Structure 1
Amino acid sequence: MLAHEGGYVNHPRDPGGPTNKGVTQRVYDAYRRGKGLGTKSVQQIANQEVADIYDRQYWDAVKGDDLPAGIDYVVFDGAVNSGPKQSIIWLQRALGSAYGGRIDGTMGLTTITAVNSVEDLDALVDAICDQRMNFLRHLSTFRVFGGGWTARVSEVRAIGKAWASSNAPRVANFYDGASAKAFAEDANEAPTTAPADVATGAGVGGGVVAGTLQSLQDQLMPFSYASQWIGKVIVVLVIVSAILAIGGLGYRWWASRKAKRLAEAVG
């Protein structure tokens, strides 16, 4: 964990802000206030404080002691990077049919029982990491930190599998950007359906106008020139209206599908 988190960083695009060894300034301030101590820069955080924060706010939050070897580490790492609730959501989704409870990000007895019923822990590690990567790719900050996050999750996957199989894990490395916090609040915005509504409305409206012109053309039949001119306008209106209506419906389908995928990925 400490290898992946590195030391003090304060990247302007990191939503966690000033962070040292994976502990943000906000978390450190709350920790010290809880102990009746004055706040100070997270750059000065002591190793024992880091261990205490990890133990209380992340390991205990995901009930690491109750999880199988390997799974405990994978869920713990996700909790430090994206918060305990988000990491537990990835676990609950990764469990699939083995978990019959709500996807609520709470490590209750139902979740723990489901985890301990899984025989193929390597497959569960893969499923958790796949859920995590899908989440990360839907963040607006992925363009900046995606390379580091991807490398980190790749190592977490390998280390988790090694522990799950009682093998010696590979050595963890630090990757630039890997320690940046990945929060659901930084998810990409869902596409709006407003353009679809405008296009569909315009298409319907054009069809109404075409119908009105058709009625006018019937009345002007004796005047062949005017009737022919209106006929050409009707054809153009019908074609344009159809294109707008179909395009609007198609865009609405695409926007709704993308919004649904975003919601599923972010949790």
Structure 2
Amino acid sequence: MRINFLACLKTILPFEGLWSDHPRDPGGATMKGIILATFRRFYPNATKADLRAISDADVSRIYRLEFWDKIGGDTLAAGVDLAVFDAAVNSGPGRAKAWLKASIGGTDDKTVKRVCAKRLGFVQSLKIWKTFGRGWGKRIAAIEAKGVAWALAATAPAATVKAQLVDEQTAATKTAKTARTSGGTAGAATAGGGGDVLVNPHHAEQLAGWVIGGLLVAGAIVAIVLISRSVIHRQRAAAYAAEAEAMGVL
């Protein structure tokens, strides 16, 4: 929505932080989420020092022109605008628009969740997920929860919105517990060495070593995926709880 730009920017900036020049960040030097290459499109001869001293006015202008306008933020529904805007900031307007296009259908709160799920799937596929994954997961969860809250608030009373946020928290908590339990079971079976859940030990000698090894590796991968899933949903549960709590007593 046109009137939502500043609210969306205010939500996003704390996640972007201030100055960063992490050696494993492909974006390189960054200030308030703006990388040097982007800053130089506005100020061609800018140095890292110039970027570090960027004004609030330039921050707002660059975010609007480079991300908000490119995703058509003024035309998007409340909540959807936040989800797509934040996705554009992290992964580029092109990907963000593609995720939106693939997510449209049903209520706006469902669109928010689909966009965030597609975005999460993408960042999990990146090699630097191991370095930045926990922070990215927490951020996407927070954006999802707030986006859903904004989308619901556009058509429902506050009490209904809060109840739905609590329901989302409960569902995410349940999914996290189930994934954690399943991941622990798969991990224990693999660590047992025999892979009894996957292979009948009485037949083990009849199987080639590479087959057994492959099954054990598969078991380990399943365990890792399930544990990762548990972490993601715990983050979602915490984010929805925070949004519900922010609404206070209704």
| CA distance in structure 1 between the partners assigned to 2:146 and 2:21 by the alignment | 27
Matched, 1:93 2:102: yes
Q: Which residue number in structure 2 is paired with residue 28 of structure 1?
A: 39
Q: Which residue of 123, 139, 143 maps to 1:152?
A: 139
Q: 1:40 Cα shift?
A: 2.8
Superposed CA offset, 1:157-181 (max 9, x none) = 01101111126999xxxxxxxxxxx
Q: Which residue number in structure 1 is paired with residue 89 of structure 2?
A: 80
Query: What one-letter code is carried by the residue in structure 1 that aligns with 2:83?
Result: V
Name the % identity. Answer: 36
| CA distance in structure 1 between the partners assigned to 2:75 and 2:106 by the alignment | 16
Q: Which residue number in structure 1 is paired with residue 15 of structure 2?
A: 4
Q: 4+ runs of 1 displaced by more than 6 Å?
A: none
Matched, 1:19 2:19: no
Q: Which residue of 45, 48, 57 maps to 1:48?
A: 57
Q: Which residue number in structure 2 is paired with residue 105 of structure 1?
A: none
Q: TM-score, normalised by structure 1?
A: 0.52
| CA distance in structure 2 between the partners assigned to 1:163 and 1:134 by the alignment | 23
Q: 1:93 Cα shift?
A: 2.0
Query: What one-letter code is carried by the residue in structure 2 that aligns with 1:39?
Result: A
Where does 1:1-267 land on structure 2 (aligned, <5 Å)? 1-33=12-44, 38-41=45-48, 42-95=51-104, 118-166=105-153
| CA distance in structure 2 between the partners assigned to 1:146 and 1:162 by the alignment | 24
Q: Based on CA coordinates, which of the two structures has the bigger radius of gyration?
A: 1
Query: What one-letter code is carried by the residue in structure 1 that aligns with 2:152?
Result: S
Q: Which residue number in structure 1 is paired with residue 245 of structure 2?
A: none
RMSD: 2.7
| CA distance in structure 2 between the partners assigned to 1:157 and 1:22 by the alignment | 19
| CA distance in structure 2 between the partners assigned to 1:39 and 1:17 by the alignment | 14
| CA distance in structure 2 between the partners assigned to 1:137 and 1:94 by the alignment | 18
| CA distance in structure 2 between the partners assigned to 1:76 and 1:126 by the alignment | 14
Q: Which residue number in structure 2 is paired with residue 188 of structure 1?
A: none
Q: TM-score, normalised by structure 2?
A: 0.56
Greater helix share, structure number: 2
Query: What one-letter code is carried by the residue in structure 2 that aligns with 1:26?
Result: A
SS of residue paired to 2:27:
coil
| CA distance in structure 1 between the partners assigned to 2:150 and 2:42 by the alignment | 31
Q: 1:121 Cα shift?
A: 1.3
Instruction: State the number of aligned residues.
Output: 152
Superposed CA offset, 1:108-133 (max 9, x none) = xxxxxxxxxx4411111111111011
